[in-house]
Amino acid sequence: MARLDDILQTHDDSDWQHGQPGARTHAVESSLETGHVLVFPELRFVLSEAERRFLDTRYADPATKNISLRGPQALMRGAVGSAEDLVELRAMLIRFRDQATALAQRLFPHYTGKLQVANTSYRPISVEGRETSWRKDDTRLHVDAFPSNPTQGARLLRIFTNVNPGSQPRVWRVGEDFQDFARTFLPRIKRPLPGSGWLLETLHVTKQRRTEFDHLMLGLHDGAKADMAWQRDCPQREVAFAPGTTWVVFSDQVLHAVMSGQFMMEQTFWLSPADQQQPDTSPLHVLERMTGRRLGLA
């Protein structure tokens, strides 16, 4: 598994799609699955002259922290502006989604036909000074887990790109190996009440059944964010992603915190652990080994 001192794996690609002269990296599933962050300092998402006007917070709904595309129809949420603005902004997000998908297909041929394209987002709001609850405070180290959208064990593969027009990096902290992290917080988590997953789904609190795996991942997420002594003292390092940098990570596995930055694109994919090259590295299988129980759907 990845160590903090070698968690970043840097590649010199400058093109997104297979067949282009700068599209060099191929078949790096093993690096991703063992908890590395794949970094491409020269792989930039180039905005057109017209699109550069969207590097402005006025296009984001103040009530949200990002502008997103959702569902097969790529419905856009969180954006404000004229009808023309919204059409062009949506087209920019679709173009990023398509380039990120082409990148994932090139980097991870083992996942061909298995990746489920999920949300695309544009985050124009500065991280610094954003007021939020402690559970939603992404400046605290965490693994991704979502109260209303259970994954049931599916992986969260995410591609990020810093599109800041100046020199401001996107600064992260990354933390220890997932299993070491789970050893600290897993004993603190009580088992879910029988039938609670069914009830949450029936009442439409969750979009699908919350499994015991989802319950534990939420417990790990919340436990880490609530423990400020652990946040201060746990093994971690700071990394800075300069403008024009793209990075790829399993965000349900790699502990991360977003400390600063503004203007970023992000694409999420879902992947079943069964479709990995090394399924045993998935959080689902790690937690099943640690608990001695099956945690996904029966």
pLDDT attached to residue 210: 95
**What digits encode the pLDDT tens for the residues 236-289?**
999 999 999 999 999 999 999 999 999 999 999 999 999 999 999 999 999 999
Question: pLDDT tens-digit profile of 166-222?
Answer: 999 999 999 999 999 999 999 999 999 999 999 999 999 999 999 999 999 999 999
pLDDT tier, 64 (very low <50, low <70, confident <90, very high otherwise): confident
pLDDT number for residue 171: 98
Which tokens hold the place of 136?
A: 């939603």
Contacts for 203 with CB less than 8 Å, ≥ 6 apart: none
Domain 15-290 part of CATH 1.10.10? no
| Buried-exposed string 254-279: b where 16+ CB fall within 10 A, e elsewhere | bbbbbbebbbbbbbbbbbbbebbeee
Please state, rounded to an integer, the average pLDDT across all residues of the chain.
96
Share of the chain above pLDDT 90, in %: 93
Question: E-strand spans in the chain?
Answer: 8-10, 37-40, 67-70, 75-77, 116-123, 155-162, 170-175, 236-241, 246-250, 256-260, 264-271
Tell me the sheet residues that pair with 123.
Answer: 264
Domain ranges of the chain: 15-290
Going by pLDDT thresholds of 50, 70 and 90, the confidence category of residue 298 is: low
- 159 band by pLDDT with thresholds 50, 70 and 90: very high
pLDDT score for 14: 97
